[in-house]
Amino acid sequence: MVLCNSLRRFCCSGALIAALLSPALGLADTGTEVLTDQISKANAEDTGFKNGSVVVAPIPFRNELVGAGLALGLGYLLKTDEDSDTSMIGIGALRSENGSEAVAATASFAFLENTWKLNLTAGQADMFYDLYIGNLKFPVNQDGTLVNAELLHQAWQNTHVGGRLRYLDTTLAYNTALPALPVLPLVTAELVSLSALLRWDTRNDTFSATSGHYLDVEAMHGELLNQNNHNYQKLTARFTTYRAFSPRNSVALRATACMASSSAPFFDKCSLGGTDSFRGYNPTRFLNSRLLSFQGEFRHNFTDRLSGVAFAGIGFSGPSFERLDNGGGQIAGGLGGRYQLSKKFKAMFSVDVARNEAGENTLYVYVGQRF
């Protein structure tokens, strides 16, 4: 799961590396999804390919899946017209302390006053992480190649619809010589998936919103090419709302629902932490066919560039919506600090500490808000 999340997130969102682990191969969240949006707010007014600019961005990260590491992105930013978002062509790489590595290339274009948005991604990753099988976790190694193409069209104000085509070729193996290990949920997978996308965005700011809403819906159909008649479906909906109570205080609330076929590969199951950005649990710990989660975050600005957050959430995972509460809800909360990287860009350098109901603490370091 780790491989695909990183590839898709980093590249398709304009942050090159987090995508080397997208929802098909990976669940690692390096928090690098904001590179393009940061620059877009202060990009020069000149348009056209020759009037672009080069940006190099080293981005530290830490999460519970692959540990601490560094992502490095090199991008060429340009605007196709004055009213479109910033477009980008770039490459990137990451490495974490446990030996996980990823490289990716991306091209992301917005044109005709944001009427059309095109994202193209290709990358490879070699990841080491702990995979939960039942209640036990085992060290595994997953590598693979991901190719992703996404096209969005502005159907009406603040709303884009479109599709995503994804190709993934991945292998999974134990990273241990222990005897009598359980059978892995998947050893090799070559798959193609097609998704229908809907995005409704009324936020007043891309990376630190204080008002508005963001709805992201994806309906996916996948086919395993290396297995006969093996197809599956997945539906995911994330809704986030933002509200300011004063110039220095605001709240962000997120609700997530997910349903996947029982035949879906483990990396395309609904994941607490991977599907919804929930903090406090390893994203491979609760993988199932159904997921509901609710999160809230209170944000306070101490100064113009320094702020803090307090967050909490509850998530339910199970084989069906009727059986979500069989194991009880998974609860976690914590505190975090934010530092605005520059006066010009509102993107934040974030450090969070989360504690779950089992008394386990997790440290997260990333760029941007969690949601």
The pLDDT profile of the chain, 371 residues, written as one tens digit per residue, is 444 444 333 333 333 333 334 433 333 444 444 444 444 444 445 666 666 778 787 888 888 889 899 998 888 888 888 888 888 899 999 999 999 999 999 999 998 988 999 999 999 999 999 999 888 889 999 999 999 999 999 999 999 999 999 999 999 999 988 888 888 888 899 999 999 999 999 999 877 899 999 999 999 999 999 888 889 999 999 999 999 999 999 999 999 999 999 999 999 999 999 999 999 999 999 999 999 999 999 999 999 899 999 999 999 999 999 888 766 789 999 999 999 877 766 778 899 999 999 999 999 998 889 99
Instruction: Please tell me the number of Cα atoms within 13 Å of 355 on its side-chain side.
Output: 4
Q: Which residue has the tokens 């039942």?
A: 134
Q: Which of 197, 297, 190 is nearest to 242 (CA)?
A: 297
Assign a CATH topology to domain 2-367. Answer: Porin (2.40.160)
226: buried, middle or exposed (CB in 10 Å: 19+, 13-18, 0-12)? exposed
In this structure, the dihedral spanned by the alpha carbons of residues 150, 252, 26 and 36, taken in order and rounded to 10 degrees, is 50
Domain ranges for the chain:
2-367
List beta partners, residue 163: 151, 196
Our CA angle for 309, 311, 313, nearest 5°, is 165
Longest pairwise C-alpha distance within the chain: 63
Pairing relation of β-strands 19-26 and 53-63?
unpaired
250 Rama class: left (phi>0) / alpha (psi -120 to 50) / beta: beta
